[in-house]
Structure 1
Amino acid sequence: MSPTGRGAAAAANTPGTTSAGGGTRAWATRLVVVGIVLAAVNLRPAITSLGALLEEVRDGLGMSGSVAGLLTSVPPLCFAVFGVTAPRLARRFGPAAVVCAGMAAITAGLLVRPYVGTTAGFLAASALALMGIAVSNVLMPVIVKQWFPDRVGSMTGLYSMALALGTSLAAAVTVPLTDALGGSWRSGLAVWAAVAAAAVLPWLPLVRHRAG
């Protein structure tokens, strides 16, 4: 194959590149940056927002101390169980599609869990959100290396900053948000579903672009 032919083949295999040229690559890259930041912001609020309102949740659901202790052990369990499936899912569907589905799972879990009315339902909805967190957490470095092979360090730093921001923000503002929303712990937890829903949006065009 001639050098020109090899260059064309390499370009065809570059994420986000099509016959439309650099313009397609540019918009896809911007979406990936936004998607990475928003996804990272949403990788901890499901946990830290619950920690801020755990006593209210226990009282509201009539949760025993032992069950509350079980609830605190669910995140590492879900990370271990669901995180190992992320590479296999990424090979089959693509990393962007799996992260998109992960953000959707976080959204659904955070939206449903305050209103299910039972401890078992609360645990199940929390597990759904944590499943989305687990697979997305594993695939973030993969996406960074795939899209930004020459900027892994800077993009990893950006991702880590967004992760820390989401962690601290949820811990700090969940209680004031709950008070501002009328004092209901259900509203205080459910509001984070809106943040997770925003993280789905940048990934949708990327998934559709890959499918096309």
Structure 2
Amino acid sequence: MPDRLLSPRGGRLLGVLGIVLIALNIRTAVAGLAPLAGLIDAEIPLDATAIGLLGVVPPVAFAVSGLLAPWVAHRIGLERALLFAVVTMIAGHLLRGAALDYPGLLASTLVVLMGAGFGNILLPPAVKRYAPGRIGAVTAAYATMMSISTALPPLIAVPIADAASWRLSLAVWGAVGVLALIPWVVLAARPPHPVVTEPVTVIEVDAPSTSADADVADPVDEPDTRQFGRLARSRVVWGITIPFAVSGVTAYSTFALMPLLLEDLAGVDAARAGALVGLFAIVGLPLSLATPVITARLRSPAPIMIVSVVAFSVGFLGLLLAPTLATPLWMIALGAGQVLFPMCLALIGLRSRTSHRAVTVSGFVQAIGYGVAAVAPLALGVLRSVTGSWMPAIVILLLAALSTLVAIPLLRSGEMIDDELERRRL
């Protein structure tokens, strides 16, 4: 194989294209199943428990991926790990469409979401590798594609099922995965070039890339098996992990519980409740586009976190004190609070000096964040059943949102994770 299959510029462009196309696939498996539950139930019985278990799979798969993806990437390379993620997503989509019973549906859902989880973990370091001088802009692009991949499946899943079948409606997303396959097949075939990535500062990170970024590959040293333990002692890492976990808890609790909450407290019917949750999701689209770019321009993300806390407080206090007064406004406010998610995705790259470091940071942050998010909806649902009221659950979500303030002093200095770890080692 020739030493250079692509020019440095061609490799960067192909890498960015691959990042964006993977992002378009990450949430289709999550968003494409729920609208089809009634149709699937005619062939594969789905009671409330079965649907609830399917709803727990995404954050659990993403949390497990946070532990496994860095290990895989360090051993087979970032590009091959992303290729594995795409192949796994495609296979999972096809297996879901062919599922004959509930265990098959559950297992295939786990497969596709493990692939999506690997993509979730490895996209921030891929941005660090292929766009080190454009972290804000490229993160904005892929976060926006993730928002689109959340909003699109519910719109077309039922029409496709009505025109053909629910099986085709589930399997068709595998075809979208094929688009993402092409760039990573090419990039995985390139031999690695051990050129150290130039350090990227937090301020003005969107400045044009230099020639030192040509291959933007990291050293191929064997990774330190104690890296997760070291990261757990980093205040900067916890400064990213805390808001990421808050975002995950809020998002998964909203999607799982908010329809029932709105029916009980706001007195709306199921269709109206679903539309209000959709409003929450739509707000994330412009935020995904703007937030990473803004984050890259700031020395400290404190202003973004303060905006998020204010928005969450307005939303949760509105639901707590006046749920029927301006329900759409409360949902818009909660959606605006989700500005934390694209901010954290950008910070993973901005506060890491190499994509090698960003892999482990992304794994740590997302394993913990999604682990907490997996438990939250179930715990809050049990709390509702025990107390007979949604008020305790809303108060807990409000307190969780306020905990974002703890992360502000952890990130205020603008320090890089690598520098902090090196300083602590001395």
The normalised TM-score by structure 2 is: 0.43
Q: Which runs of 4+ in 1 moved over 4 A?
A: 18-21
Given candidates 27, 40, 45, the residue that maps to 2:28 is 45
Aligned equivalent of 1:202 = 183
Which has the higher Rg, Structure 1 or Structure 2? 2
SS at match of 2:100: coil
CA distance in 2, matches of 1:41, 1:83: 20
Match of 1:100 among 79, 83, 86: 83
The answer to whether 1:134 aligns with 2:98 is: no
Distance 1:211 1:156 in 2: 24
Structure 2 residue corresponding to 1:189, chosen from 151, 160, 170:
170
- Work out whether 1:86 is the aligned partner of 2:69: yes
SS of 1:150 mapped into structure 2: coil
Counting only pairs closer than 5 Å after superposition, residues 156-167 of structure 1 correspond to structure 2 as 156-167=139-150
**What does the per-residue CA deviation read over 1:149-190, in whole Å, with 9 as the maximum and x for residues that have no partner?**
11100111111111111111112111122223x2x1111111
Q: What 5-or-longer segments of structure 1 have no aligned partner? A: 1-17
- Contact 1:56–1:185 at 8 Å: present in 2 too? yes
Deviates more, 1:59-68 or 1:90-99: 59-68
Alpha-carbon distance, 1:114 to partner: 2.1
Partner residue, 1:64: 47
Contact 2:85 2:119 in 1 (8 A): yes
Partner of 1:153: 136
2:91/2:112 contact within 8 Å kept: yes
Shift in alpha-carbon separation, 1:130–1:20, aligned structure 2, 3 A: closer
Q: Distance in 2 between matches of 1:19 and 1:177?
A: 45
Structure 2: which amino acid aligns with 1:48?
A
CA distance in 1 between counterparts of 2:3 and 2:26 reads 35
Residue type at the aligned position of 1:199: A
The answer (yes or no) to whether the contact 1:44–1:166 under 8 Å persists in 2 is yes
Q: 1:11-22 to 2 correspondence within 5 Å?
A: none
The letter of the residue matching 1:127 is: L
Distance in 1 between residues matched to 2:63 and 2:38, nearest whole Å: 26
Q: Aligned partner of 1:177: which letter?
A: I
What is the distance in 1 between the residues matched to 2:3 and 2:157? 47
Aligned CA RMSD, in angstroms, stands at 1.9
Give the aligned partner of residue 11 of structure 2: 28
Further displaced range: 95-104 or 23-32: 23-32
| Larger deviation, residues 200-209 vs 26-35 | 26-35
Query: How much does 1:211 deviate?
Result: 6.3
2:46, 2:147 → 1: CA distance? 30
Rounded to whole Å, the distance in 2 between the matches of 1:192 and 1:185 is: 12
Could you tell me how far 1:193 is from its partner in structure 2?
1.0
- Separation in structure 2 between the aligned mates of residue 20 and residue 210 of structure 1, nearest angstrom: 8
More displaced stretch, 103-112 vs 86-95: 86-95
2:26 is paired with a residue whose SS is coil
Number of residue-to-residue matches in the alignment: 192
Q: Which has the higher helix share?
A: 1
1:170 pairs with 2:153: yes
Q: Is the 8 A contact 2:127 2:135 kept in 1?
A: yes
Task: Report the CA distance shift for 1:64/1:104 in structure 2 as closer, same or farther (over 3 A).
Answer: same
Equivalence for 1:3 = none
Whether contact under 8 Å (1:48, 1:167) holds in the other structure is yes
* Compared CA separation, residues 82 and 19, structure 1 to 2 (3 A): closer
Gaps of 5+ in 2: 194-426
CA distance in 2, matches of 1:54, 1:119: 12
Calculate the TM-score normalised by the size of structure 1. Answer: 0.85
Contact 1:58/1:68 (<8 A) preserved = no
Give the secondary-structure state (helix, strand or coil) at the position aligned to 1:210.
coil
